[in-house]
């Protein structure tokens, strides 16, 4: 009997629409591979608690054999939906509860990276709910700084601050996505990303926005960014970047897939920024682009992840 894959998408985070595009692509790909597919679109307006109950009802009613998680941002990547799948004893794609929590929390993940000996930009955490001047929390850091929410994705609320005068506004923008704000020193260099599939690094991609930095607009506006696949870097540098991506994947305890974002500094040293435990999964997203370099089609990639989830719990 064919197994039913429920593709969960949408959700209550600011990345709802991006998630729906990922999920729609996955559902269509798996259907082409002859899987029994049922999409589960979680509304955005219901909030986290409502989303949890909606997902619980939907997965139970659908009698899912395996879940493909195409969710992004809080609820989808922070361990919440993963814990629900565990409670329902349904296998699911992607990292488990603990790794998802670590990956979503940029401060916690940076601590884990440092413990693993990986190079990261110098960073500090600011609690935007406090009344004291935030510069007190930035001792030892030099401008320019990158200011971002500690628990968000898709570059929502991210700013580059050149001097102290712009710090308060940048913190306020980041704080729209949570009171905990991460600040890190800006590293000049080339922006790279490397996906991990199973326990294997994929080819490195270089990201070149045409204007500014790789913000939400650059990510999701057609033609706003150039992607070089594979990145035009030496074999030695590519191997070093892949090694960092795999080490970061392992440091967080990720499984099945992840994507590490890095800066290759002016000395050709890869500096790790963060790890995405559920990277974008539209047919034109970065991880599928990298997989295509290894002659792994988008449809095959989606199916392979389902098979990994099935193998996790020995589903025949």
Of the three residues 163, 185, 207, the one that is the final residue of a domain is 185
Q: What is the pLDDT of residue 131?
A: 47
Would residue 157 show up in a list of annotated catalytic residues for this protein? no
Contact 162, 142 (CB under 8 A): no
Do 229 and 273 reside in the same domain of the chain? Answer: yes
Active site residue: 111, 143, 173, 220, which one?
Answer: 220
Annotation says 227 is catalytic: no
Number of domain units in the chain: 3
In a domain, 284, yes or no: no
Of 191, 195, 280, 285, catalytic:
280
65 is annotated as an active-site residue: no
Are 177 and 227 members of one domain? no
Report the C-alpha gap between 46 and 28 in whole angstroms. 26
Q: Are residues 114 and 153 in the same domain?
A: no
pTM above 0.85, yes or no: yes
Whether omega for the bond prior to residue 144 falls within 30 degrees of 0, making it cis, is yes
Classified as helix, coil or strand, 313 is coil
7 and 30 Cβ atoms separated by less than 8 Å = yes
Residue pointed to by tokens 């994507």: 259
Is residue 56 part of the annotated active site? The answer reads no
Domain shared by 89 and 18, yes or no: yes
Catalytic residue chosen out of the listed positions 109, 154, 159, 258:
154
Which one of the listed residues 10, 11, 14, 15 is annotated catalytic?
Answer: 15
DSSP string covering 168-231: HHHHHHHHTT-SEEEEEE---EEEEEEEEETTEEPPPEEEEESSSSS-HHHHHSTTSEEEESS-
110 with 216, same domain? Answer: yes
Task: Please identify, among 132, 157, 185, the residue that sits at the C-terminal boundary of a domain.
Answer: 185
Q: Which domain holds residue 250?
A: 102-120+187-277
State the Cα angle at 94 between 88 and 98, rounded to 5°.
75
- Centre a 10 Å sphere on the Cβ of residue 200 and count the other Cβ atoms it contains: 10
The answer to whether residue 154 is catalytic is yes
Segment 200-245, tens digit of pLDDT: 999 999 999 876 655 555 555 566 689 999 999 999 999 999 999 9
Is residue 14 part of the annotated active site? The answer reads no
Q: What is the pLDDT at residue 147?
A: 93
Please identify which of the residues 92, 276, 285, 299 carries the catalytic annotation. Answer: 276
Domain membership flag for residue 293: no
**Confidence (pLDDT) at 55:** 97
**Which candidate in 65, 184, 206, 274 is catalytic?**
274
Q: Quick one: which H or E segment has residue 147?
A: strand 145-149
Q: Could you tell me the CATH number of the domain that includes residue 144?
A: 3.30.1490.20
What pLDDT score does 215 carry? 53
Same domain, 35 and 16: yes
If asked whether residues 107 and 205 sit together in one domain, one would say: yes
Residues 128 and 110 in one domain: no
Residues 6 or more apart in contact with residue 62 via CB below 8 angstroms? 4, 6, 38, 40
- Cis peptide, bond prior to residue 190, ω within 30 of zero: no
| Same domain flag for 129 and 263 | no
* Three-state DSSP state, 65: coil
Nearest-angstrom CA–CA distance, 205 and 290: 7
How many helices (H) does the chain have, and how many strands (E)? Answer: 10, 13
* Residue 290 counted as domain residue: no
Is residue 48 situated within a structural domain? yes
Is there a contact between 249 and 260 (Cβ–Cβ < 8 Å)? yes
Q: Is 101 a catalytic residue?
A: no
Residue 296 is encoded by which pair of tokens?
Answer: 């792994």
Tell me, yes or no, if 276 is annotated catalytic. yes
Same domain, 208 and 169: no
Phi (first) and psi of residue 170, to 5 degrees: -65, -40
Which residues face 125 on adjacent strands? 182
Q: Is residue 289 part of a domain?
A: no
For the chain, how far is it from start to end, CA to CA, in angstroms? 10
Catalytic residue among 191, 215, 261, 299: 261
Specify if 287 maps to a domain. no
15 part of a folded domain: yes
Active-site entry in 259, 285, 299, 303: 259
Nearest CA among 275, 221, 223, 217 for reference residue 244 = 275
Tell me which of 165, 185, 205 is where a domain ends. 185
pLDDT along the chain (316 residues), means of 10: 90 92 97 97 92 96 97 93 97 97 95 97 84 65 92 77 89 86 94 97 93 56 80 97 98 98 96 96 91 96 96 61
Q: What is the pLDDT of residue 47?
A: 87
Q: Which long-range contacts (CB under 8 A, 24 or more apart) does 81-87 make?
A: 81/8, 81/11, 81/52, 81/55, 84/52, 84/55, 84/56, 84/59, 85/59
**Co-location of 152 and 177 in the same domain:** yes
The reply to whether 291 falls in a domain is no
- Taking a C-beta distance cutoff of 8 angstroms, is the pair 258, 249 a contact? yes
> Do both 200 and 112 map to the same domain?
yes
């Amino acid at each position: 009997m064919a197994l039913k894959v429920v593709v969960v998408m949408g959700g209550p985070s600011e990345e709802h629409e991006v998630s729906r595009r990922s999920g729609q692509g996955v559902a269509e790909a798996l259907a082409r591979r002859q899987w029994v597919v049922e999409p589960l679109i979680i509304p955005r307006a219901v909030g986290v608690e409502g989303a949890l109950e909606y997902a619980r009802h939907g997965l139970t009613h659908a009698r899912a054999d395996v879940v493909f998680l195409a969710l992004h941002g809080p609820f989808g990547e922070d361990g919440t939906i993963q814990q629900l799948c565990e409670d329902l004893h349904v296998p699911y794609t992607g990292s488990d509860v603990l790794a998802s929590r670590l990956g979503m929390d940029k401060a916690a993940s940076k601590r884990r990276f440092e413990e693993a000996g990986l190079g990261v930009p110098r960073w500090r955490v600011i609690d935007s709910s406090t009344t004291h001047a935030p510069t007190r929390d930035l001792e030892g850091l030099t401008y320019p700084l990158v200011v971002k929410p500690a628990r968000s994705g898709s570059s929502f609320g991210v700013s580059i601050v050149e001097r102290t005068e712009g710090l308060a506004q940048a913190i306020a923008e980041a704080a729209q996505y949570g009171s905990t704000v991460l600040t890190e020193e800006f590293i000049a260099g080339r922006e790279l990303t490397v996906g991990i599939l199973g326990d294997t690094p994929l080819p490195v991609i270089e990201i070149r926005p045409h204007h500014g930095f790789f913000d939400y607009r650059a990510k999701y506006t057609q033609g706003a960014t150039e992607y070089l696949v594979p990145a035009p870097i030496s074999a030695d540098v590519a191997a070093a970047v892949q090694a960092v991506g795999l080490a970061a994947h392992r440091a967080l305890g990720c499984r099945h897939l992840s994507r590490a974002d890095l800066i290759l500094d002016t000395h050709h040293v890869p500096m790790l920024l963060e790890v995405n435990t559920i990277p974008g999964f539209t047919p034109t997203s970065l991880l599928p682009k990298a997989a295509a370099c290894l002659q792994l089609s988008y449809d095959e990639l989606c199916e392979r992840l389902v098979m990994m989830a099935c193998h996790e719990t020995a589903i025949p």
